Chains A and B, each alone.
Chain A
Amino acid sequence: MRHGKRRRSLLGQMTSIRQAFFLALMMLVMAGIVIVVCISLRYTNSMVYENSVAYTKQIVSQVNDDIDSYIQYMENISTMVSSDPDLQSYMFGRDQEAGKRLEEQFAIALQSHTDVRNIGIIAPDGRYLINDAQTKRNLYTVLSEQPWYQELLEAPGGTALSSSHVQNLVEGKYPWVITLSRVIYSREKSSEQGLFFIDLNYESISRLCDNNSVGRQGEVFILDKKGNIVYHPRQQMLYGGLLTEYTEEIMACRTDSMRIGKGRNEKLYTISRSSKTGWTVVGSVYTAELLSGDMQTKLLYLLTAFALCAAALLIANVLARSITGPIQRLRDSMARIQEGKFDRAHLEVETRNEIGVLTEAFNAMTDRIRELMEQIIHEQKEKRKSEMKALQSQINPHFLYNTLDSIIWMAESGKTDEVVLMTASLARLLRQTIGTEEEETTIAREFEYVKSYLTIQKMRYKDKLDFFMELDPSAGQEMIVKLILQPIVENAIYHGLKYKETMGMLSVVGYGTLDNIIIEIRDNGVGMDRETLEHIFEKHKVNYQSNGVGVYNVQKRLQLYYGQGYGLSYASTPGEGTVVTVKIPRMHRRQKQLSEAIGGGNEKI
């Protein structure tokens, strides 16, 4: 038992194939979706990060290239202006005319490049030209103290690019700039040297960095050789101490990307170093932000998975129904056949698959069963017919002989009227017996028959028998198996009244109840004792005085015809008389019984 239970599969425990099928399909689809989603999520998680790193790297190296070419471009301008002969002649030859022309050149340079904050020269003797003739030098600024100037003096090629610093060369102005400077050597006297510089504001650099920001909160900033900030989109915040970047860690980092910080403040730095400027371009982005995009993707995946599950639910349902539907119909049909309802057993064959074949075979089978059943019913009917015939009572030859003898006797004594009456009664009696092949007759005609018989008997037993007959008209038209009452009446006369000393009375009363017809045959004869009554329906109790049909035959016929529960019942008191009750169903009742017995649709048969 336990062994069997263990071997039963989960799906086998479902009560219907459809349920099991539906569940299996759902589990399969769900498992598939879950696996795909899990893989996708895992994959996107790392992919988003990898992609962002790759993307940021690309941008940062692009910014680095842009800045290199920007600085290169500015150096070219610087070279162009500084190689101008006017610059030489103004700086070393003190040519005022050349100074005018140089001023024009500066004006052009300033006009065409809004990102140039200052452009200027300082001659070895302290003369200067910055931007234009009106701009005054800040007299309190000592050039040799300026870090950018010190850098220039140390620079090997005579050119230098400073970090961010405050340019205080011009009176009253203290802008943050990046200075491109170069030493100008005199062509005549190489010991004499002046200074040319261009101060760049952050217009171009900020554009290069800000336009290429990585992510919504990402930033691109620039560090110089020493790790000081050259440019940062939020430089003032860095200066004010409101913001810090991990500049030391960045400078120490040997790879081109790093993650630093904790939790929500974790940042991804992507680093690109320029050999030209010596600067480091850094892309900074919060990893949380990278993953926020990832979160949306994840949510989208989950959403899709959910929608797919819903769709799978519907499709699984439809599929399960389409496959198990025919099986269920087959099952329902079988249940109907079990109940004996063959009329709706035939199924439409919808498909050509196994179930179709099964349905076809099932149809063939039910058809065959139905045929066989019809055959059996027919045979049964035939059999019963012949049996009934065999059981049908015949006119007792004794009775016929006695009656004819009585007629002769009455004719001899000239009782013409009585002869006529008895002969007519006998004729009716015989007519009824030989009448037709019909099994049934109306109760009225059966009463007529009994009346004919009793009339004859009354004439024979003049002083010993009288009778009374009454039939409810509504019961008269109901049908009854032929020749039922006569043997009973005969029995009553021969066993009940014949031995009675006084006048015997026999009454036959027929009436209908709702479903049945009741006919009572009552005599006031000698009655029966209990033992006789108990054995009244036994076959061997064939009365030698009757035609041998007896109570057994009548009862057998009635029950064959109407079923158990109908037929005769005896009640008797010794010395007082006997009551025989015949109970048969009414016509409508019988039809219903018939249909119930054979099956729903077999009324036609």
Chain B
Amino acid sequence: MRRYKIWIAAAVMLLVCAFFGFWIAQGRTENTRYTVAFVGKSPVESSDFWTSVRSGMEMAAEEYGVELTCCYSDAETNWEEQNKILRDVIQEHPNAILLAPASYTETIPVMEEIKSEGIKLVLVDSEAERQIQDAVVSTDNVEAGKKLGTYVRQLMRDKEGSIALIGHVRGVSTAIDREEGFREGLQKREKDIVDVVFCDSRYDVAYEEASELIRSHPDLKVIAGLNEYSTIGAARAVRDLGKQGQIYMVGIDSSMETITMLEAHVVTGIIIQKPFNMGYVAMEDAVKLIQGKPVEKRTNSGTKLITRSNLNVEENQKILFPFDSKK
């Protein structure tokens, strides 16, 4: 009997050894790559903003070993296409989806589908009417609008004139919030707003709308674009109509063209977001959610006012100009 005991003890020890060995081998080979899909609302390549968002996502993806796929609808207004893309993405069943909803209301059913499939959902940049998502990473758009409004109020301190607003897409959360913030920032000068138009996030529409505004409102002193497309389209109109120096062209979001026009004094000032941070934090949140760690329900990625005079301050350059080691 005692002899058996010794053999059993040895066998148990060997088994434990084998188990530990297996565990170590497992630990070494264990390399679970998460899959995360980013579904944008406009072509990434056409926009410096979204390019930066994506490079932020890519940076985090590399850091956390995530396989990132990107797809997007061809136009910001095309929520139907985005929903279709989203349903395709759900079929792939990624661990998480980063979504910039194209519509404040119409995207909600698909968001519910995503959640019911057990996929983590992080909203980037924009929001939807109902809070279905696990986390949202965006610019505080009210705050961005307010900063712009405050800046315009300061510009108009001792001047008379009317203000026109070019929004990007009617009904989108960012447009709603920014306009609200803008009006808040203007305070008493809110009464000077003569018109609010929308450009559907298209340069040409913004250009036409701005030209029309300039023509129809001779006392127009300020044009405010609410995103990259509306700002650039309007700025081009201001430049082409030779109204620079007469009209304060302000806006939200930057691109290389905006910077050039800022240098050329066509654009007076812009509120910039931090798209790289937005993308990075969104991806980081997605990974944390997959791993079951707690995340901030709402992250404000921050904004900053850039004018001609602070354009070349290094701190601002660091945010304005994307750093790319490959080019």
The stretch of B12-20, B77-85, B125-133, B199-207 in contact with A is: B12-20
Which A-B residue pairs are the 6 nearest by beta carbons? A239-B318, A310-B13, A202-B325, A206-B325, A140-B263, A240-B277
Q: How far is the CA of A113 from the CA of B326 in the complex (A)?
A: 13
**Residue B56 at the A interface, CB < 8 A?**
yes
Pairwise interchain contact A174-B325, C-beta atoms closer than 8 A? no
Pairwise interchain contact A296-B280, C-beta atoms closer than 8 A? no
Given contacts A173-B256, A306-B20, whether A240 and B325 have CB atoms under 8 Å apart is no
**Residue B236 at the A interface, CB < 8 A?**
no
**Residue A314 at the B interface, CB < 8 A?**
yes
- B residues less than 8 Å from A300 (CB atoms): 24
Pairwise interchain contact B323-A313, C-beta atoms closer than 8 A? no
A173 vs chain B, min Cβ distance (A): 7
Q: How far is the CA of A236 from the CA of B322 in the complex (A)?
A: 7
Pairwise interchain contact A234-B321, C-beta atoms closer than 8 A? no
Given contacts A174-B259, A175-B327, A242-B277, whether A307 and B312 have CB atoms under 8 Å apart is no
Q: How far is the CA of A231 from the CA of B319 in the complex (A)?
A: 16
**Residue B226 at the A interface, CB < 8 A?**
no
Pairwise interchain contact A175-B321, C-beta atoms closer than 8 A? yes
- The residue on A at minimum CB distance from B318 is A239
**Residue B320 at the A interface, CB < 8 A?**
yes
A-B contact pairs, 8 of them (CB 8 A): A166-B320, A202-B325, A206-B325, A237-B59, A303-B24, A306-B13, A306-B17, A317-B3
B327 vs chain A, min Cβ distance (A): 6
In this complex, how many residues of chain A approach chain B with their Cβ under 8 Å: the count is 41
Chain B 294-327 per-residue mask, 1 if CB under 8 angstroms from chain A, else 0: 0000000000000000001010011111111111
**Residue B6 at the A interface, CB < 8 A?**
yes
Pairwise interchain contact A166-B317, C-beta atoms closer than 8 A? yes
User: Which residues from 128 to 151 on chain A have a C-beta closer than 8 Å to any C-beta of chain B?
Assistant: 138, 140-141, 145
- A residues less than 8 Å from B20 (CB atoms): 299, 302-303, 306
B300 vs chain A, min Cβ distance (A): 13
Pairwise interchain contact B280-A313, C-beta atoms closer than 8 A? no
B25 vs chain A, min Cβ distance (A): 11
- Picked from B10, B21, B276, B312, the residue with its CB within 8 Å of the CB of A310 is B10
Pairwise interchain contact A174-B321, C-beta atoms closer than 8 A? yes
User: Which residues from 225 to 260 on chain A have a C-beta closer than 8 Å to any C-beta of chain B?
Assistant: 231, 233-237, 239-242
- A residues less than 8 Å from B326 (CB atoms): 202-203, 206
Residues of A that sit less than 8 Å from B by CB: 117, 138, 140-141, 145, 165-166, 168, 171-176, 201-203, 205-206, 231, 233-237, 239-242, 296, 299-300, 302-303, 306-307, 309-310, 313-314, 317
Pairwise interchain contact B27-A176, C-beta atoms closer than 8 A? no
Q: A165-B314, A171-B260, A239-B323 are in contact. List 6 more A-B contacts (CB 8 A).
A: A203-B327, A206-B326, A240-B276, A242-B280, A299-B24, A307-B14
B82 vs chain A, min Cβ distance (A): 27
A561 vs chain B, min Cβ distance (A): 49
- B residues less than 8 Å from A173 (CB atoms): 256
- The residue on A at minimum CB distance from B274 is A240
Q: How far is the CA of A174 from the CA of B317 in the complex (A)?
A: 9
Pairwise interchain contact B13-A172, C-beta atoms closer than 8 A? no
Pairwise interchain contact A303-B21, C-beta atoms closer than 8 A? yes
Q: How far is the CA of A175 from the CA of B327 in the complex (A)?
A: 8
Q: How far is the CA of A244 from the CA of B274 in the complex (A)?
A: 17
Chain B 201-221 per-residue mask, 1 if CB under 8 angstroms from chain A, else 0: 000000000000000000000
Given contacts A174-B256, A236-B55, A241-B277, whether A309 and B13 have CB atoms under 8 Å apart is yes
Q: How far is the CA of A32 from the CA of B111 in the complex (A)?
A: 63
**Residue B264 at the A interface, CB < 8 A?**
yes
